[in-house]
Structure 1
Amino acid sequence: MTHGTEGGGPTDRDLSRLLQNLTVESDRYAERFGAKHGLHRTDVNALALVMEAARLGDPLSPSTLARELGLSPSATTALIDRLEALGHVERTRPAGDRRRVALEVPEAAVEANRHLFTPLAIAFAQAWTGFSAEEREVVARFLKVSTETMKAVSAEAHDQARDHRSR
């Protein structure tokens, strides 16, 4: 696994360790966010997924959220009920299909979350000022492929665990 790079740059192991450290710190930040707002870790993950889907203009359905989080339908309903009671999400019915339920983030929740994450965004922007456009492209590509890889390995592990349980 530890492949060297031309010019003696970081090894695969070095990059994996650094990415793991970033993940741990990100988890800690999310846990503090959750504690401040009375949210469980899964609630924070759900809120992040709902907000990202809203940002992309494609609101999540409860079933998609359940699949993304690996939760049962009843656990997902309880989670959505908690987030809705706290004002973080709303269940809506898209105009084109009144049978479908979409999860959306009310504007007040967007503002509250923006205030919480703005200090982190500002700190990141300050930390990244020394990166050239080309370096930012490499970092963006690195983060994208690393995220895609994490999702794929996680899904594979989930499928293997499910197959093992069904035997």
Structure 2
Amino acid sequence: MAEQGPEREIVHLLRKVTVEFGLRQAEFAARNGMHPTDVRALICLLDAGRSGTGATAGRLGAELGLNSAGTTSLIDRLERLGHLTRTRDARDRRRVLLSVTPQAVELGWAAFGPMIGSAEALLRGFDEVEVAAVRRFLLGFHAAVSAKPDQAGGTDRS
């Protein structure tokens, strides 16, 4: 195994953060009668809303790696729980758009708001160059994690 430098330490810290965040998401899901995939679906829908991208069942299923039946079941469940709505696209009435309800946003903010606030406060202590470096690292790492297995580089997996 190669000697671990500060780069590997940062990757391991990021992994530690993602594992802990995943645990918090699972606890949130269990407390609110959801499956962890339901929470990931709500995050995808919130991200689509922030980017101004219309979220459809097909797009959501693709992002979550679900087949059509699994996606429909997930959407039905979140709709029954009052966490999402389906509306016809005003520009193309054949398309049905999905969006997170204000109730679900409030529920999520109550659970994750303090954590988000802590992260934002931490970042406010960084200068512009440091914030840009964090952004560049996270965007690049996201691209690496999102790459297909045959596109990913690297050899030492520890």
Instruction: Pick the TM interval, shorter chain.
Output: 0.7 to 0.9
Q: Which residue of the partner structure matches residue 54 of structure 2?
A: 59
Where 2:98 maps in the other structure, the secondary structure is strand
Q: Report the Cα offset of residue 16 of structure 1.
A: 2.1
In structure 2, which of residues 6, 21, 39 is the aligned counterpart of residue 10 of structure 1? 6
In structure 2, which of residues 93, 100, 120 is the aligned counterpart of residue 105 of structure 1? 100
Whole-angstrom CA distance in 1 between matches of 2:93 and 2:124 = 47
Q: Which residue of the partner structure matches residue 40 of structure 2?
A: 45
Q: Report the Cα offset of residue 114 of structure 1.
A: 2.4
User: AA paired with 2:132?
Assistant: E
Q: Which residue of the partner structure matches residue 154 of structure 2?
A: none
Q: Which residue of the partner structure matches residue 115 of structure 1?
A: 110
Number of corresponding residues: 150
In structure 2, which of residues 32, 43, 66 is the aligned counterpart of residue 71 of structure 1? 66
TM-score, normalising length: structure 2: 0.85
Note the alpha carbon deviations across 1:61-109, whole angstroms, 9 max, x for none. Answer: 1011111111110011000001001111111111111111111112232
User: AA paired with 2:130?
Assistant: E
Whole-angstrom CA distance in 2 between matches of 1:78 and 1:99 = 20
User: AA paired with 2:99?
Assistant: E
User: AA paired with 2:75?
Assistant: I
Note the alpha carbon deviations across 1:40-65, whole angstroms, 9 max, x for none. Answer: 11111111001110111112110111
Whole-angstrom CA distance in 2 between matches of 1:63 and 1:125 = 33
Q: Which residue of the partner structure matches residue 156 of structure 1?
A: 149
Structure with bigger RCO (C-alpha 8 Å, 6+ apart):
2
Unaligned runs of 5+ in 1: 158-167
Question: Please, what is the CA RMSD of the aligned residues?
Answer: 2.0
Whole-angstrom CA distance in 2 between matches of 1:156 and 1:97 = 36
Whole-angstrom CA distance in 2 between matches of 1:112 and 1:24 = 22
Gap change, CA 1:59 and 1:110, over 3 Å in 2: farther
Q: Which residue of the partner structure matches residue 153 of structure 2?
A: none
TM-score, normalising length: structure 1: 0.81
Q: Which residue of the partner structure matches residue 164 of structure 1?
A: none
Q: Report the Cα offset of residue 122 of structure 1.
A: 1.6
In structure 2, which of residues 87, 92, 102 is the aligned counterpart of residue 92 of structure 1? 87
